[in-house]
Structure formats: C-alpha cells, structure tokens
C-alpha cells in the first residue's frame, strides 16, 4: 500500500484523503550501503541517534533503519536504567562498608562499551543483530 509523501499516511488512490498529497513508494530508495551506514549511526549516540533517524526523511520510512533506530533507543534507555539501579545498589553497599562492589561498576561500563562497538560494527557490515529482550519490541515498532 503506498504512503503519502507529505504526511506518511496510507492511501488507496493517488491522492491522500488527509492532506491532499501524492503517493510515494512505501520503502524509499536507499542503497544497501547507505542503509547500513545510517543504521550503524543510529547506535553512535544511542537515544539521540535513534531519534534523529526516526525524524529524518527518507530514513524514517526505511524498515531496516527504523528497526535499528528503535533498538538503539531501547538499548540506551535500558542501559541508563541498569546503570541507575546498579549505582544505587553500589552506593548502599559502599555505605555499609562493603567496598568491593565499586569495582564492578567499571566492569559493567567496559562490558557495555564492548557491546556498543559490537553493535555498531555488525550493523555497519549489514549483519542483522536482534537483541534478546529489546529486539522483538523494536521489530513491533517498525
């Protein structure tokens, strides 16, 4: 089903009943390499990068880029949530006199850094990486 080039709504005829715009192809013509680069750039700034590509046409209509934009947003939000919870637990242990937990924060940060670079690299190479929990949620958003 074609989409309106102006408002993005689905249309049956050649003219959009909502805004009066014309039909456009449902998937914009973007080369595979350009789609891989745009999808990898979604992960570069996590939430901000994903939001940028969801708002920036013609990338906002490409299914692969939309998937990686949503997955990067969900990844960024989940990482901040995990960091916040772990920081609160670490502070509680530190105040209780248990100091070994403070070093785990560095290990978690380094693990996330390696994982983040892995996601950028594989997405750039065109490999589809679907994360276990947030990947299906990102697929539902496309």
Same domain, 69 and 6: no
Domain span at residue 3 reads 1-26
Same domain, 59 and 14: no
Of 15-29, 82-96, 100-114, the poorest mean pLDDT is in 15-29
Same domain, 74 and 40: yes
Same domain, 6 and 41: no
Kindly tell me the number of DSSP H helices and DSSP E strands found in the chain: 5, 2
**What's the CA gap between 24 and 19, in Å, rounded?**
14
Same domain, 81 and 104: yes
Same domain, 6 and 64: no
Express each pLDDT in 45-83 by its tens digit: 889 999 999 998 788 888 999 999 999 999 999 988 988
pTM of the model: 0.74
The two three-digit tokens of residue 32, written as one number:
């595979």
Predicted local confidence at residue 48, as pLDDT:
92
Same domain, 19 and 81: no
Give the total number of structural domains in the chain.
Answer: 2
Segment 35-39 shows an average pLDDT of 93
């Amino acid at each position: 089903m074609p989409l309106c080039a102006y408002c993005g709504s689905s249309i049956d005829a050649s003219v959009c009943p909502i805004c009066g715009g014309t039909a456009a192809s449902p998937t914009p013509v973007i080369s595979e390499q350009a789609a891989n680069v745009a999808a990898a750039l979604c992960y570069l700034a996590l939430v901000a990068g994903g939001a940028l590509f969801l708002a920036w046409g013609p990338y906002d209509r490409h299914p692969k880029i939309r998937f990686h934009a949503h997955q990067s947003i969900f990844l960024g939000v989940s990482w901040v949530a995990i960091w916040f919870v772990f920081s609160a637990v670490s502070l509680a242990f530190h105040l209780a006199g248990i100091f070994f937990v403070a070093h785990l924060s560095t290990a978690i940060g380094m693990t996330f850094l390696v994982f983040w670079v892995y996601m950028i690299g594989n997405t750039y190479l065109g490999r589809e990486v679907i994360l276990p929990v947030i990947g299906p949620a990102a697929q539902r958003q496309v």
